Amino acid sequence: MKLKISPTAFAEMQKHAEATYPNECCGFFYGKDGEIRNIEVAKIVTNSKEGDQRRRFEVSPLDYLKAERYADEIGQTLLGIYHSHPEHPAIPSEHDLKQAVPFFSYIIISVMKGKTEVTKSWQLDDAGKFEEEEIL
């Protein structure tokens, strides 16, 4: 899958990732699915992980429900989740793999010393492994 992220949505994700540093941030993004996924809207979600959030994030079931509703409201598709990796590369962890669901794109933003660096996106393949997506 290929992704195109609108500059506004991308800027919001980056700002969020820096604001929550050294903790992980997370959020949903919405847009139009197709041969190329067009991401148009990013929306912040509270990291509901209890305790240390530097290496983990969690999205509550209620927030998933709200995200589905919001997608309907704005007439777009819920395409995935972004989260940050403070002081770590933009590569999914074992934990990320366990939590991943098919269809979603998983955008990971690496934040080094409080500044966003590499951003990569991943999607589960048929074998249940993460495959990197191309960000155009």
Window of 4-12, 64-72, 85-93, 119-127 that interacts with Zn ion by CB under 5 A:
85-93
Greatest extent of the chain over all pairs of C-alpha atoms, in Å: 39
At residue 60, φ and ψ (nearest 5 deg) are -75, 155
* CA dihedral for 4, 31, 105, 95, sign (positive or negative): positive
CB 85 to Zn ion: min, Å: 5
CB 90 to Zn ion: min, Å: 9
CA 44 – CA 29 distance, rounded (Å)? 9
CB 51 to Zn ion: min, Å: 16
Position among 96, 105, 110, 111 found at the interface with Zn ion (CB under 5 A)? 96
Token duo for residue 135: 């960000």
Nearer to Zn ion, 60 or 93 (CB): 93
What is each CA distance from 32 to 2, 26, 66, in whole angstroms?
12, 20, 18
Residue nearest to Zn ion (CB): 96
Name the one residue in this structure whose structure tokens are 């992220």.
5
Position 128, amino acid? G
Window of 26-34, 44-52, 59-67, 90-98 that interacts with Zn ion by CB under 5 A:
90-98
In sequence order, what are the beta bridge partners of 83? 26, 108
Window of 8-16, 36-44, 87-95, 117-125 that interacts with Zn ion by CB under 5 A:
87-95
Nearer to Zn ion, 46 or 93 (CB): 93
Nearer to Zn ion, 40 or 58 (CB): 58
For binding to Zn ion (CB under 5 A), which residues are involved?
A: 93, 96
